[in-house]
Amino acid sequence: MIAKPRTGPVPVESGRTPGERAHQFRGSLGRFATGVAIVTFDGVTKRHGITVNSFTSVSMEPPLVLVSIARTAKAHDELAGRPFTVNILGAEQRHLAMHFAGRPGPEPLWVEGGTAPRLSHVLAYFECKPWAAYDGGDHTLYVGEVVDFNYRSGDALAYANSTFTTIPESQLGMEDLL
């Protein structure tokens, strides 16, 4: 049989166009439910904050955590080699997630941390010294060594499928099992 000449977008190996593939890659990643955090630090001339859901714990000893920051983000270059805080948001702090994701609202309350600035009344925080930075394609993986941390009680802010949701405190708290 003679193959018909191909018209329109070139399908990729699974029958998806590059555009469909990118869309479905994002959609697949979005099925991984996460918390929501804000990375804060003092840059050369100003204080930065960027909303992330790429926060991951890495190591207990030494205590290391990781965030993945897009190379296109304004904060990307200045974060290299600087102390930073990962602020974990509570359920009522959705506005902070939006504020530091390009939808500014009223200026939030800041706390002068011992190592890096942080946001007031977050659910948990990790103040970090810079440990390493790794190439992550169009992102950079910034690993920090945790030098101070704490948490409070409260419901958690979560993010899944491009939507904010909350996890009640009653469903948190596995500490007795770990």
Ligand X SMILES: Cc1cc2nc3c(=O)[nH]c(=O)nc-3n(C[C@H](O)[C@H](O)[C@H](O)COP(=O)(O)O)c2cc1C
Binding site for ligand X (CB under 6 A): 36, 50-54, 68-70, 73-74, 97, 100-102, 159
Closest CB to ligand X among residues 5, 137: 137
Q: Which is nearer to ligand X, 54 or 147 (CB)?
A: 54
Q: Count of H helices and E strands in the chain?
A: 3, 12
Tokens of 131: 């440990």
Shortest reach from residue 32's CB to ligand X, in Å: 12
Taking the complex as a whole, how short is the minimal distance between the CB of residue 73 and ligand X, in angstroms?
Answer: 4
- C-beta of 133: minimal distance to ligand X in Å? 13
CB nearer ligand X, residue 54 or residue 165? 54
Residue 26, beta-bridge partner list: none
- Asked if omega into 62 is within 30° of 0 (cis), the reply is yes
Q: Find the shortest distance in angstroms from Cβ 157 to ligand X.
A: 9
- In 36-135, which ranges are continuous DSSP H helix? 76-79, 94-99
Closer to ligand X at the Cβ: 16 or 34? 34
With respect to ligand X, which residue has the nearer C-beta, 78 or 169?
78
Going by C-beta distance under 8 Å and a sequence separation of 6 or more, which residues neighbour residue 79? 39, 41, 48, 69, 140, 142
The per-residue b/e assignment along 11-28, b for 16 or more CB within 10 angstroms, e otherwise, is eeeeeeeeeeeeeeeeee
Give the nearest residue (CB) to ligand X: 54
Name which of 35, 36, 43 is nearest 98 in CA terms. 36
Q: Which of 22, 94, 85 is nearest to 49 (CA)?
A: 85
Measured from the CB of residue 81, what is the shortest distance to ligand X in angstroms?
18
